[in-house]
Amino acid sequence: MRIIILTLLFLSSFYKSKAQDSNKYNNAIPNVVDSLYREDQFYIGLTFNLITNQPESYSQNGFSGGLHFGFIRDMPFNKRRNLAIGVGLGHSLNTYNSNLFIGEEPSGETIFRTLGSSDNADRNRFNTNLIEMPIQFRWRTSSPMNYSFWRIYGGVKLSYIYYYRAVFENKDISITQTEIPELNRMRYAAILTLGNGSFNAFFQYDLNTLFDKNAMINLDRINLQTLKFGIEFYIL
């Protein structure tokens, strides 16, 4: 009799435990697939800045590089959501090392000239800080459950140089120039990003020149347009 009672108690405890487990799973929140997902992303890029459309006497030296970062809002427009428009807001830092000296006359007129070996320059650098707005047409192989996919994002980037300076240094003097009326502070560029996952190749070509028609060296327009290429990372 005691054995029967113990057996009944054991079975009762077993079925109670199973019922609790069943209720636990029934009450669990199921995985939900977001069919209306967006690829809103933070981005960060590192680039090499190559100058094109330059006068014959101009040359780059040392490393000219850039850093840009920001956030892009993704707006899909087809049912599969692999096509979208992306609009972002970001910041860009750039350095250009070259033989282009930028100074100022006592009258306030900007001086543009190319340096020679006799100038003994230890540093000759032009830095820019920009607020930028990328606008992209986006194609990708993404899905609601696939977070690593191929992408091709092409478009334009509108930027504004809000801070800049040209620095020249040698063992005798140091010159910093922060007023350059000839600088085209509004920037327009074509951009392309392609790759897979977080790691992507990045290209940018400025559509307007860095300086306007009044910036000249020996009656030759300076022009200067930037081609940037490097890597860009996207973080969801």
Q: For position 147, what pLDDT does the model report?
A: 67
Q: For position 33, what pLDDT does the model report?
A: 55
Residue 194: C-alpha distances to residues 69, 136, 158, 231 (Å): 17, 12, 20, 10
Q: For position 172, what pLDDT does the model report?
A: 83
Stretches where the chain sits below pLDDT 50 are 1-11, 14-26
pLDDT digits (tens, 9 = 90+) for 4-53: 444 444 445 544 444 444 444 445 555 555 566 777 789 999 999 999 99
Contacts of 96 (CB under 8 A, 6+ apart): 49, 51, 60, 64, 125, 126, 127, 128, 226
Q: For position 31, what pLDDT does the model report?
A: 54
In angstroms, the CA 128 to CA 164 distance is: 4
Q: Where are the domains of the chain?
A: 41-235
